[in-house]
């Protein structure tokens, strides 16, 4: 038994004795419930976390205070960097899709590691839920206990993020909680993959752990381990990921015990309170330092075209989701975020629990506003949110599917980023502007079984099933700022350490799939004076398999999520193309060309013979793929900033030479004319023709645009007649049903009594 | 007060001429320059050919300014849109791209919204200079949002501790 386990044993004895004598595990004889109630009351009454008007430790002993924060954060980062080596899943080990957090006894986040920091607040919700449900007196919370949660309705982002939560005790009191979360390759469910668009309800999502006690005495229960082993398609990854999370939580617990041994429990407690209050103050002061008070509005949209692809009758329809975002930046530095008018929840996997949305909020604000501050729940107290109950952003039915809430979170926060970016620009911090990003979609997912001859070539412990869940989606185009272009193919909004991993690493675990290419997706970047970062495209094939099914989800595809800013355009949409029953093997044998992309669209099928499936929508549900079938996928470009005609000519020339844009596109959008020597990648611009082309673009703006009144009358007539597509009309009707306020604003704007939808 | 070096750096920032190293090492990191707003405002004021005091920039071309008609939205070309409390887009010119052919001028085939979904790009132009001031991506029939209503007096009086330039 290690020294740390001796310590836990001592704590267990102390708590048992205390509980036997009718004591409580909170501080100073309080229960956790009373601590939570008192914290909420004091914070509400005073506007300061737990009523802390003075940060005594910070003010009187600054060095000690900062040292404590560094030690704690260092312990979290160290836990993450060490524990990920326990995992075998490339999602965790290679990509770093894990995160560790530490919380106060009431469940307020004190500090968070690097990684998927979207979870800074989700563990908080799960801990508070356990406290409210009186786990301390009913289920029991004792030293050495292990809890697990992946239920979005109780505190999570999406179902394949699985949390391990461990209480930390000192001297008979619960002093903190450690929480580790990993992104699983598979949790069972109706379809393979880590972010499925196939599911319509909870009953298809796979394993749900609902703040469940899964172990005690630092050991996992045998029945829990058996459940994981028998309920996922990748039991080895599940098992090692769980050990990874538990090991990290125990490292954090040991670090907290060391800190308390060094500085004493009272100093540690005081520090944790002050760190949360400092987080709150940092948020308010940062708002006043960087932003501009006022009201900001933007709306995002998500097309979900499932009429042809859906499996179940209730999902076989084309839908457009409405995600409006209004934000107030107040005089006192507080902010509010209101999504009144959001589409209602539904029979699909894009439902995002309130915890998912607050997670999205923190992962956004930590990147744009709080990147050097103490990232914790303090900032939560400086911000009010309204995610309407029963909507996509706060469902009231836990029986819905929550497998892919990113399909709601990512587009919604594009509007948040644009609102905050408007504030940055007006305040003079134009370098902090980010117009948005391409949503992290379009990765191929699925899985299969190897042919026996192939299975014999791989290590026994892997088995013959292979999951397909690469993280190509981690590298999208970032939006432009107001001083430079967006980052090309290198951004994921939910994990700032965007990393798609090496092809070779994925091929080591996705045994039956082979990459044929990764290359720039020309014409995917949003146009502007500063363009969005470019997306990219790839082609995969299937080899040595039987029973291989693959599918793909795309945002945006049939509709844009948002535009650019200040005259910039959104990045292009995505689509789908694949080939079955192909001649790839013959081509390989003969040394003939095969598809390495689809640029310009339509050229994929020039390099392969077979049954080609090409759709404007970017998604397809799981399809059987035979050996040598070929599928294309595409990561998107970010939105642009500013009028494209103001983009410096030399930058447009470079765009063509780097294959960001085609010569045809730059002529039409930027008015830049020239000859492209593709072989040598040299674009010779014709200055005279360019001047003419740019002048013509300006003239066309004058000729083809109309005064607002003319636009208003034409559009109003369509609204009265209901003359829009069915998905758009249904979007409005649904938004009116869920929000009288939105309907009233809509009717007022168009000056109508009732729309024709 | 800001030094001449700060001023030159902000000038380059506005002009998009700051290299990545300078941006990364001097401009992006915290803490931020607390004179930034005023330095930016003054530089922008020097660049326009009219005298109405700039209160804040809205984008590369539009400003909220103080004027004889009160606080208005004004383009750098001199075109005056409307009072700041109103939506400037309702005083702009607009081109709507909804058909596939219209979208295809901007994007290749398949990389546009689906032609059957009536999804629009609305391009907003200044009636004076035809600069492209904004683009909205919305379904047909969507109201035109007023994206930003600045609280100007709170900003100047409570955050900066001084009167707004049009009240000085």
pLDDT, tens digit (0-9, with 9 covering 90-100), for B42-75:
999 999 999 999 999 999 999 999 999 999 999 9
Q: Any idea which of A326-330, A440-444, A474-478 has the lowest mean pLDDT?
A: A440-444
Averaged pLDDT, A533-557: 95
Max intra-chain CA distance, chain A? 91
> Is some CB atom of chain B closer than 8 A to the CB atom of A754?
no
B91 CB neighbours in chain A (<8 A) are 708
Contact A428 B36 (CB under 8 A): yes
Q: Comparing C-alpha atoms, which of A335, A357, A336 is closest to residue A284?
A: A335
pLDDT at residue A457, rounded to an integer: 75
Q: In what order do the strands lie in the sheet with A465-468?
A: A465-468, A444-450, A545-552, A620-625
**pLDDT band, very low/low/confident/very high, at A163 (cuts 50, 70, 90):** very high
- Closest A-chain CA to B19: A484
> Is some CB atom of chain B closer than 8 A to the CB atom of A530?
yes
**pLDDT band, very low/low/confident/very high, at A121 (cuts 50, 70, 90):** confident
**Size of the A and B interface in Cβ pairs below 8 Å:** 254
Name the phi and psi angles at A173, rounded to 5: -115, 145
pLDDT at residue A459, rounded to an integer: 62
Q: How many whole angstroms separate alpha carbon A474 and alpha carbon A176? A: 32
Averaged pLDDT, A690-701: 98
Does the pLDDT of residue A341 top 90, yes or no?
yes
pLDDT at residue A509, rounded to an integer: 83
Q: How many whole angstroms separate alpha carbon A316 and alpha carbon A646? A: 44
pLDDT at residue A1, rounded to an integer: 42
**pLDDT band, very low/low/confident/very high, at B138 (cuts 50, 70, 90):** very high
> Chain A closest CA to B105's CA: distance in Å?
6
Residue A372 burial (CB count, 10 A): 11
Contact A745 B10 (CB under 8 A): no
Contact B138 A301 (CB under 8 A): yes
Q: Which helix (H) or strand (E) holds A101?
A: strand A98-103
pLDDT at residue A3, rounded to an integer: 56
Q: Which helix (H) or strand (E) holds A447?
A: strand A444-450
**pLDDT band, very low/low/confident/very high, at A461 (cuts 50, 70, 90):** very low
**Domain map (residue ranges) of chain B:** 1-47
Nearest neighbour of A573 by CB, restricted to B61, B111, B136: B111
Q: Write out pLDDT tens, residues A614-670.
A: 999 999 999 999 999 999 999 999 999 999 999 999 999 999 999 999 999 999 999
pLDDT at residue B1, rounded to an integer: 52
- Closest B-chain CA to A712: B90
Averaged pLDDT, A249-269: 97
Q: Which residue has 């008609």 as its token pair?
A: B69
Top pLDDT among A239 and A460 is at A239
Q: Alpha carbon of B34 to those of A275, B1, B24: distances in Å?
A: 25, 10, 18
% pLDDT > 70, chain A: 99
Does the pLDDT of residue A697 top 60, yes or no?
yes
Nearest neighbour of B119 by CB, restricted to A329, A422, A559: A559
Q: Comparing C-alpha atoms, which of A103, A124, A128, A122 is closest to residue A33?
A: A128
> Chain A closest CA to B42's CA: distance in Å?
11
Q: Write out pLDDT tens, residues A177-206.
A: 999 999 999 999 999 988 999 999 999 999
B58 CB neighbours in chain A (<8 A) are 422, 425-426
Q: Which residue has 């708590």 as its token pair?
A: A15
> Chain B closest CA to A329's CA: distance in Å?
9
Nearest neighbour of A297 by CB, restricted to B20, B109, B147: B147
**pLDDT band, very low/low/confident/very high, at A69 (cuts 50, 70, 90):** very high
Nearest neighbour of A705 by CB, restricted to B10, B125, B151: B125
Contact B118 A728 (CB under 8 A): yes
Contact A296 B39 (CB under 8 A): no
At residue A220, the 3 state secondary structure works out as strand
% pLDDT > 90, chain A: 86
Burial category of B77 from C-beta neighbours within 10 Å (exposed 0-12, middle 13-18, buried 19 and up): middle
Q: Write out pLDDT tens, residues A499-509.
A: 888 898 888 88
At residue A582, the 3 state secondary structure works out as coil
Top pLDDT among A90 and A65 is at A65
Does the pLDDT of residue A546 top 90, yes or no?
no
User: So what's the ipTM on this one?
Assistant: 0.98
Averaged pLDDT, A274-289: 93
Does the pLDDT of residue A460 top 60, yes or no?
no
Per the structure block, which two tokens stand in for A422?
Answer: 């408007």
Per the structure block, which two tokens stand in for A270?
Answer: 């005081």
B103 CB neighbours in chain A (<8 A) are none
Q: Which helix (H) or strand (E) holds A732?
A: helix A726-738
> Is some CB atom of chain B closer than 8 A to the CB atom of A555?
no
Name the phi and psi angles at A476, rounded to 5: -105, 175
Per DSSP (E only), the strands in A348-407 are 383-386
A724 CB neighbours in chain B (<8 A) are 118, 139-141
pLDDT at residue B2, rounded to an integer: 65
pLDDT at residue A462, rounded to an integer: 54
Q: Write out pLDDT tens, residues A269-278.
A: 999 999 999 9
At residue A285, the 3 state secondary structure works out as helix
Nearest neighbour of A642 by CB, restricted to B60, B96, B150: B60
HEC sequence for chain B:
CCCHHHHHHHHHHHHCCCCHHHHHHHHCCCCCCCCHHHHHHHHHHHHCCCCCCEEEECCCCEEEEEECCEEEEEECCCCEEEECCCCHHHHCEEEEECCHHHHCCCCCCCCCCCHHHCEEEEEEECCCCCCEEEEEEEECCCCCCCCEEECHHHHHHHHHCCCCHHHC
Q: How many whole angstroms separate alpha carbon B118 and alpha carbon A685? A: 36
> Chain A closest CA to B68's CA: distance in Å?
22
Q: Write out pLDDT tens, residues B86-129.
A: 999 999 999 999 999 999 999 999 999 999 999 999 999 999 99
Does the pLDDT of residue B4 top 80, yes or no?
no
Nearest neighbour of B108 by CB, restricted to A560, A600, A707: A600
Q: How many whole angstroms separate alpha carbon B156 and alpha carbon B99? A: 45
Task: Please compute Rg for chain A using Cα positions.
Answer: 27
Name the phi and psi angles at A530, rounded to 5: -115, 120
Contact A728 B141 (CB under 8 A): yes
Q: How many whole angstroms separate alpha carbon A225 and alpha carbon A184? A: 15
> Chain A closest CA to B163's CA: distance in Å?
15
- Sorted by sequence, the CB contacts under 8 Å of residue A372 that are 6+ apart come out as B29, B30
- Closest B-chain CA to A562: B137
Nearest neighbour of B59 by CB, restricted to A294, A566, A746: A566
Average pLDDT, chain A: 94
């Amino acid at each position: 038994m290690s020294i740390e386990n001796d310590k836990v044993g001592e704590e267990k004895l102390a708590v048992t004795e205390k509980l036997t004598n009718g004591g409580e595990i909170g501080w100073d004889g309080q229960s956790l419930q009373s601590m939570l109630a008192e914290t909420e009351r004091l914070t509400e009454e005073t506007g300061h976390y737990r009523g802390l008007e003075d940060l005594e430790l910070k003010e009187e002993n600054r060095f000690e205070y900062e040292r404590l924060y560094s030690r704690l954060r260092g312990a979290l980062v160290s836990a993450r960097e060490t524990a990920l080596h326990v995992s075998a899943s490339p999602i965790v080990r290679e990509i770093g899709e894990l995160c560790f957090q530490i919380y106060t006894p009431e469940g307020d986040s004190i500090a968070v590691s690097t990684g998927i920091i979207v979870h800074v607040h989700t563990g908080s919700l799960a801990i508070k839920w356990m406290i409210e449900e009186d786990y301390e007196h009913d289920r029991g919370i004792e030293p050495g206990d292990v809890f697990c949660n992946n239920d979005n309705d109780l505190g999570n982002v999406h179902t394949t993020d699985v949390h391990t939560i461990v209480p930390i005790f000192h001297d008979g009191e619960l002093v903190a909680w450690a929480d580790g979360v990993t992104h699983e390759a598979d949790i069972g469910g109706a379809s393979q993959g880590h972010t499925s668009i196939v599911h319509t309800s909870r009953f298809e999502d796979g394993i749900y752990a609902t703040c469940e006690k899964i172990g005690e005495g630092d050991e996992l229960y045998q029945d829990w381990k058996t459940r994981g082993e028998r309920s996922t398609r990748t039991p080895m990854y599940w098992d090692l990921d769980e050990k990874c999370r538990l090991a990290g939580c125990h490292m954090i617990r040991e670090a907290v015990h060391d800190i308390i041994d060094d500085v004493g429990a009272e100093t540690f407690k005081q520090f944790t309170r002050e760190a949360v209050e400092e987080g709150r103050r940092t948020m308010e002061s940062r708002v006043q330092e960087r932003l501009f008070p006022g009201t900001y509005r933007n709306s995002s949209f998500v097309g979900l075209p499932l009429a042809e692809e859906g499996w179940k009758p209730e999902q076989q329809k084309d839908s457009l989701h409405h995600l409006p975002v209004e934000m107030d930046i107040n005089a006192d530095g507080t902010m509010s975020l209101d999504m009144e008018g959001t589409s209602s929840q539904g029979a699909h996997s894009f439902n995002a629990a309130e915890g998912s949305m607050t997670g999205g909020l923190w992962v956004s604000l930590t990147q744009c506003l709080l990147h050097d501050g103490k990232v914790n729940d303090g900032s939560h107290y400086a911000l009010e949110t309204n995610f309407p109950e029963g909507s996509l952003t706060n469902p009231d039915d836990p029986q819905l599917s929550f497998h892919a809430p990113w399909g709601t979170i990512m587009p919604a926060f594009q509007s948040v980023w644009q609102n905050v970016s408007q504030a940055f620009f007006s305040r003079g911090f134009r370098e902090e502007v980010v117009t948005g990003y391409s949503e992290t979609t379009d990765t191929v997912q699925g899985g299969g079984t190897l042919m026996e001859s192939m299975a014999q070539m791989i290590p026994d412990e892997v088995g013959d099933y292979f999951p397909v869940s690469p993280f190509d989606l981690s590298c999208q185009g970032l939006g432009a700022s107001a001083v430079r272009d967006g980052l090309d193919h290198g951004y994921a909004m939910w994990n700032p350490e965007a990393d798609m991993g090496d092809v070779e690493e994925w091929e080591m675990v996705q045994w039956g799939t082979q990459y044929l290419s990764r290359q720039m997706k020309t014409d995917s970047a949003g146009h502007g004076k500063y363009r969005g970062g470019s997306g990219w495209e790839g082609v995969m094939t299937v080899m040595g398999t039987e029973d291989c099914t693959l599918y793909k989800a795309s945002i945006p595809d049939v509709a844009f999520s948002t535009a650019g800013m200040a005259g910039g355009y959104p990045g292009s949409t995505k689509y789908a193309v694949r080939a079955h029953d192909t001649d790839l093997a013959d081509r390989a044998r003969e040394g003939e060309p095969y598809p390495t992309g689809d640029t310009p669209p339509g050229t994929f099928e020039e390099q392969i013979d077979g049954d080609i499936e090409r759709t404007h929508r970017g998604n397809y549900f799981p399809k059987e793929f035979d050996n040598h079938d070929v599928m294309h996928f595409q990561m998107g470009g970010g939105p642009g900033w500013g009028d494209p005609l103001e983009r410096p000519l030399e930058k447009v020339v470079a765009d063509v030479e780097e294959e960001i844009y085609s010569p045809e596109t730059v002529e039409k959008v930027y008015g830049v004319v020239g000859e492209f020597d593709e072989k040598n990648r040299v674009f010779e611009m014709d200055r005279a023709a360019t001047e003419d082309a740019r002048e013509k673009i300006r003239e066309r703006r004058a000729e083809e645009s109309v005064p607002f009144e003319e636009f208003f009358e034409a559009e109003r007539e369509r609204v009265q007649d209901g003359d829009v597509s069915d998905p758009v009309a249904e979007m409005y009707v649904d938004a009116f049903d869920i929000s009288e306020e939105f309907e009233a604003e809509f009717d007022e704007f168009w000056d109508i009594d009732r729309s024709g939808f | 007060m800001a030094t001449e070096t700060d001023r030159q750096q902000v000038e380059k920032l506005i002009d998009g001429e700051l290299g990545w190293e300078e941006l990364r090492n001097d401009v992006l990191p915290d803490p931020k320059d607390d004179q930034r707003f005023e330095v930016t405002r003054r530089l922008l004021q020097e660049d326009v050919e009219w005298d109405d005091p700039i209160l804040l920039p809205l984008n590369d071309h539009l400003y909220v300014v103080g004027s004889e008609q009160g606080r208005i939205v004004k383009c750098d070309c001199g075109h005056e849109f409307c009072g700041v409390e109103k939506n400037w887009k309702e005083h702009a010119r607009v081109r709507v791209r909804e058909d596939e052919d219209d979208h295809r001028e901007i994007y290749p085939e398949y990389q546009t919204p689906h032609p059957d979904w009536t999804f629009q790009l609305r391009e907003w132009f200044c009636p004076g200079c035809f600069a492209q001031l904004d683009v909205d991506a919305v379904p047909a029939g969507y109201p035109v949002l007023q994206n930003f209503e600045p609280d100007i007096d709170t900003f100047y009086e409570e955050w900066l501790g001084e009167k707004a330039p049009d009240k000085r």
